[in-house]
């Protein structure tokens, strides 16, 4: 394995570790649900992606042929993380979770019929 390939793999592993650590800190130290949502969906996803690409590069340089499993996992992760974050944020808005004033919690995309007096209407109460 050449020095350039080893350096690139090492750089990706270190960058991935840093991103995962920053995402974990954000999850642990941010103040409300909406802020905490950014840690695992942005920084940690990028960190895991860097680590998977480094793994793919390592095994490609050792075996001489590319492994597609790591690339597919990375693509699946990059596609599903934003979708799940969006769904979690919309659920938090629908349930009217408490938030700090910094996040404001009143987005313009939330229509008036989406905000009720109760966070979630129950079917046995005649709503539906």
Question: What pLDDT, in 10s, does the model give residues 66-108?
Answer: 888 888 998 999 899 889 888 988 888 888 777 777 665 555 5
Q: How far apart are CA 35 and CA 26, in angstroms?
A: 8
pLDDT at 105: 54
Q: How far apart are CA 101 and CA 112, in angstroms?
A: 20
pLDDT at 104: 59
DSSP, collapsed to helix, strand or coil, labels residue 30 as coil
In the chain, what is the greatest distance between 2 CA atoms, to the nearest angstrom? 69
What DSSP state is assigned to residue 109? Answer: T
Task: Say which residue, 69 or 35, is predicted with more confidence.
Answer: 69
User: What is the H or E stretch that residue 106 is in?
Assistant: none
pLDDT at 128: 47
pTM: 0.71
Q: How far apart are CA 100 and CA 31, in angstroms?
A: 7
| Percent of the chain predicted with pLDDT > 70 | 78
> How many residues are recorded in the chain?
128
């Amino acid at each position: 394995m050449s020095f350039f390939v080893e350096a690139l793999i090492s750089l990706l592993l270190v960058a991935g570790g840093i991103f995962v650590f920053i995402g974990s800190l954000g999850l642990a130290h941010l103040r409300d649900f909406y802020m905490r949502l950014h840690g695992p969906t942005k920084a940690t996803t990028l960190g895991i992606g860097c680590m998977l690409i480094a793994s793919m590069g390592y095994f490609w340089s050792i075996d001489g042929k590319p492994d597609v499993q790591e690339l597919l996992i990375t693509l699946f992760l990059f596609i599903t993380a934003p979708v799940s974050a969006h769904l979690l944020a919309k659920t938090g808005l629908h349930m009217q979770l408490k938030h700090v004033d910094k996040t404001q919690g009143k987005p313009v995309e939330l229509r008036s019929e989406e905000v009720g007096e109760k966070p979630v209407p129950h079917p046995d109460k005649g709503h539906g």
